[in-house]
Amino acid sequence: MDTAALRSKVTFQKNEAVTDKYGNHKNAWTDYYTCFATIGGEGMAGSKEGQAVGTTVEDFSMTVSVRYCRRAAAIDSTHYRVMFMGGIYNIVNIDHMNFRKKSLKFTCRKERR
């Protein structure tokens, strides 16, 4: 892994139940792990435009490669998401890079709001 390419700051957020001051429980996204990553794959084959309710919407995909650590290895695609440059990206796939414990590659798709 080229450590000089780790120049983009990303934040992984976890979906968990939080309690407000009245004791009510609700789901919320909390920051879990922030690190530097290599962003790649912009304009992948999965990226495309489509029509939704008469407007053209962009379906944007990218890959996020980070160095291996215990916190990053605990991330799964159902409870976590990626924040990058103000955008929210859902994790579609996680590649453990042959389980060598050197890097992780997350395939992400931009969430439409």
- Asked if residue 108 lies in contact with residue 65, where contact means CB atoms within 8 angstroms, the answer is no
The structural domains of the chain, ordered by start, are 3-110 (2.40.10.270)
> 23-65, pLDDT tens digit by residue?
999 999 999 999 999 998 765 555 555 555 666 666 788 899 9
Q: Place 112 in a pLDDT band, splitting at 50, 70 and 90.
A: confident
- Quickly count: other Cβ atoms within 10 Å of residue 38's Cβ: 20
Residue 27 token pair: 């789901």
68 or 113: whose pLDDT is higher?
A: 68
What's the whole-model pTM score?
A: 0.81
Q: For residue 65, with 0-12 CB atoms within 10 Å meaning exposed, 13-18 middle and 19 or more buried, which class applies?
A: buried
Q: Who's near 58: CB < 8 A, 6+ residues apart?
A: 47, 48, 49, 110
**Is 12 a residue whose pLDDT tops 90?**
yes
